[in-house]
Amino acid sequence: MIRGNETCVFVTPIHGRPRLPAFLYAASSVRLNQGDENNMSGPLYIQQGSPHWWLSPAIWVTPVGDPATKIANPIAGQDYTVWVQVQNRYPDPVDNSWNLFVCWTIPTAGSITVASITSNQILNGVISPIAGTVGLPITTPIPGASGATPSIVNLQAAKTWTPSYEHNGHECLIALAYFEQSIGGLPVSTLKGDAPWQQTYTIAQHNLGVLPATHHMKLFQYPFQVCNAEHEERGFVIAATQAPLSQIAEFLPGVPGGRKVLDRPGKVEHLGIIADAHPDRAESRASSAAHSSIKIAPHSCRAFTLTGSLPEGNALIHVTQSLDERVVGGLSVLVLAEAK
């Protein structure tokens, strides 16, 4: 179950069958901001990042027992609680007819197949021998909206997360809320963090890594993977660009140094992408290509490493995966030359 601070409300049966909520019967005044303009959105919404959808502000971690302290740079081996903020845009309350699925993955640009997620990666859900991978019922009642103001509830994942920093990098977090009574299981076979808000599900991703530039030359390496979840080979362009620190200002309270990070912007040198999970230092220094074109087989992933040096200050880097000039995957890395 999903722990919260409210009591549980159950669906009222009518003639032996669950009562379907009004949003499946009538059109809503709430529409999507992206995707198919004719598609109507459902009551629950997990906010995606904007303009970078993989930087959702609605998914975060706190130390176990300290829900008020958000952490943007979890430490391997320590225990954390994962939180997901959901909004109800409809006047009717939402009960346990909706489920929440939460998982972690290694830093990944692009979509991830549900079939590739192991039980160890699931923080809120199970892998059932009958139903497959499913989320857990939302047992914390979510009140209806008050006019144009949505109700907001923070949900706690059932399992404690102990990061292991597999792949020598930070993991990313994905959350999916869906109307289980209508769907019966996860509504997707692929976890796409940019999927439009639908009537029966909403999905978001938080993929921000924080790492120090180390050694006397202030070098950094950030391993990640790029995946192709489609049924055929695809050619992608992987690119890395430095961006203004202000784009992650809302996450800085959880970063070492807090908002003071904004006061010391730095300039990344020798920014590069290497098609190797473990390049040596010589390769990192020699790397100068901040983009790479690569073909990836169906249902496969390729390992990469983001490299560069940051002599001083702090820097934000976005890594994007594009297909036919459309961004289909992304992750962000905050590099701290002087983590204080």
- DSSP category for residue 180: H
Given a cut of 60, is residue 31 above it in pLDDT?
no
Mean pLDDT of 246-254: 93
Q: Which string of DSSP letters, residue by residue, matches 294-308?
A: EEE-TTEEEEEEEEE
In the 3-class helix/strand/coil scheme, how is 223-259 assigned residue by residue?
A: EEEEEECCCCCEEEEEEEEEECHHHHHHHHHHCCCHH
Q: Please tell me the distance from the alpha carbon of residue 307 to that of residue 274, in angstroms, as a whole number.
A: 7
- Residue 138's nearest CA partner among 42, 19, 22, 3 is 3
Residue 285: predicted pLDDT? 59
- Give the C-alpha separation, 58 to 249, whole Å: 14
Q: Evaluate if residue 144 carries a pLDDT over 90.
A: yes
Q: Identify the residue with better confidence: 92 or 38.
A: 92
Over 80: is that where the pLDDT of 1 sits?
A: no
Q: What are phi and psi of 262, to 5 degrees?
A: -65, -25
pLDDT at 212: 83
d(CA 293, CA 226): 12
Cis before 51 (ω within 30): yes
Q: Which residue, among 108, 326, 219, 124, has the nearest Cα to 116 in the 3D structure?
A: 108
Instruction: Look at the block and give the residue holding tokens 């990344």.
Output: 268
**pLDDT average, residue stretch 53-82:** 93
pLDDT at residue 10 above 60? no
Identify whether the C-beta of residue 151 lies closer than 8 Å to the C-beta of residue 87: yes
- Count the neighbouring beta carbons within 10 Å of the beta carbon of residue 283: 15
Radius of gyration of the chain (CA): 21
Please state the rounded mean pLDDT for residues 237-262: 93
Decide if 294 contacts 329 (C-beta within 8 A). Answer: no
Q: What is the DSSP letter of 262?
A: G
Handedness of CA 221, 120, 69, 152 (dihedral sign): positive
The pair of structure tokens assigned to 199 is 């009537």
Number of neighbours of residue 292 by Cβ within 10 angstroms: 17
| Token reading at 305 | 């490493």
Q: To the nearest whole percent, how much of the chain has pLDDT over 70?
A: 82
Q: How many CB atoms lie within 10 A of CB 297?
A: 12
Average pLDDT on 323-329 reads 92
- Mean pLDDT, all residues of the chain: 83
In the predicted structure, residue 145 carries a pLDDT above the cut 70: yes
Amino acid making up residue 112: I
β-strand pairing of 172-179 with 98-105: antiparallel
What is the average per-residue pLDDT within 101-124? 92
Average pLDDT of the segment spanning 12-29: 36
Global pTM?
Answer: 0.85
Give the span between the Cα atoms of 320 and 312, in whole angstroms: 25
In this predicted structure, the answer to whether residue 16 has a pLDDT above a threshold of 80 is: no
The token duo for 291 is 């983009």
Neighbouring CB atoms inside 10 A of 84's CB total 28
Mean pLDDT score, 258-269: 93
pLDDT of 218 higher than 90: no
Mean pLDDT of all residues in 159-175: 78
151-184 burial code (b ≥16 CB/10 A, e <16): bebebbbbbebebebbbebbbbbbbbbbbbbbee
